[in-house]
A and B are shown apart, each in its own frame.
Chain A
Amino acid sequence: MTEKLDENFIKSLVVIALGIVRGRSDPYELVNGAMEYLISNKERYMDHPNIKALAVLKMKGLFIDGVRKNQKMTSMTDDEGNDLQIVDEKQSDISDQISLNNECNKVLTTIKTMGEKCQEILMLASEGMSMQEMLEITEVKSLGTVLSRLSNCRKELKGLLA
């Protein structure tokens, strides 16, 4: 098992959850849902070689389920198979639950204005994940795609922060 399973493991999931929820639901709820799933399936998953990736994929699934449920959607893609941009009038803001310093708050706020792919990969990066781990979680085709996406998103972030 690659992860030491303790509160730091859960805190790292919170960072990643922020990139998944994109400010549209409570990241703690998402982490809680994933943890409940893992704990209730302990025997099945305690030997999993990459339990963090498993938890993240579960969080992504829970998020999509939540959006579908709230919006009564049957699909997250349009007729051409493109990801739908999720618009939710009631946006939850993590900043009312945690207190970040000004610099970090500005970075997080800026990230939340970016596209969903950038939000996801930037939060994975801020969690300190390796490219390989990001590849597994983002489910993109290649390491090159992860690298170029992260590179482009960081350039965009730099521009937005300027």
Chain B
Amino acid sequence: MIDETKIMQYADGTLPIEEHAEVKKAIEADPKLKELYNGFQETGDLLFKLGNEIKSQPLPKNLQDKADILKTWKKPIVKESNSLNFFGLFNIQPAGMAAAFAIFFAGGIYVDNFIPTKNKKNTNQVIALTQKVDDLNKKLFIKELKSKKIEKNIKLRSMPNMEEDLSTRVTNLYRYFNADQFIKDINSKLDALEINDEFVSSLEDNDGKKVNFILVENFNANGNNCKKVAFNEPLKLSSNDQGTDVSLDICKINNNYEILSINLSK
């Protein structure tokens, strides 16, 4: 028996994606659950509209004055404690930020133009890479967000926040991640590394702490030798972020390593 709260979460788009199939199947099989699902969709939309309608009202002057005071409290968005601090670690790259958003909305997170070509010999690798991107998208609920037709049927709770949190995390990563510097640092080291070897780049955080990376996996993509390296600890990339595991897929192309993709997962 499916818990009603799962129907509600499914209607709101907040149910973990791995539970979608089971709940969807149950709804399709049981008219009562379908009715319940429709009811949750309806109340979800009504509550969302209500919240927006109230928020569209102008504030009384005394509260507007306080809002002006609050604005002076604003601080840099990722200046967080208890997190790996990226300030000062990399050069800020406005173009990178813009690219990050463009790439994000295109449905994936790539940092280079490396596009595996399909041929029979390497079809599995290509599919595997494609699958990785798909998995990443699923983890980040990008497909979920798209399928929900946000502008029309945007749901309550956490979905807008999730989208906002994701875009913030992606932006923050790109703001402080200088891919060229990173590749320069590790290019000469990667080939000598074994799985689970930890290595240090020249990258440091504000406190002078070295950022360590771990070689997680060797794999082959379209005939290129590739490696997956991961940051040795979760990164807090936004104020909502409880910790994001960041790994990089790096492939050797024309004797130089290039970053194929950056993977973010909770």
Contacts and interface: CB of A to CB of B under 8 A. Distances in A.
B144 to A, nearest CB: 15
A39 B48 contact: no
B158 A130 contact: yes
A130 B161 contact: yes
A46 B63 contact: no
B153 interface: no
Interface in A135-162: 144, 147-148, 150-151, 154-155, 157-158, 161
B43 interface: yes
Interface string A4-42: 111111111011001000000000100110011001001
B149 interface: no
A96 to B, nearest CB: 12
A157 B43 contact: yes
Nearest to A131: B157
Contacts of A42: 73
A2 B158 CA distance: 13
Contacts of B47: 107, 122, 125-126, 154
Contacts of A5: 70-71, 73-74
Interface of A: 1-2, 4-12, 14-15, 18, 28, 31-32, 35-36, 39, 42, 46, 49, 98-101, 103-104, 107-108, 122, 125-131, 134, 144, 147-148, 150-151, 154-155, 157-158, 161
28 contacts: A2-B239, A5-B74, A6-B67, A6-B71, A6-B74, A7-B59, A7-B67, A9-B70, A10-B59, A10-B63, A14-B54, A14-B55, A15-B55, A101-B53, A103-B46, A103-B49, A104-B53, A125-B47, A126-B156, A128-B48, A134-B157, A144-B5, A147-B9, A154-B40, A154-B44, A155-B4, A155-B36, A161-B46
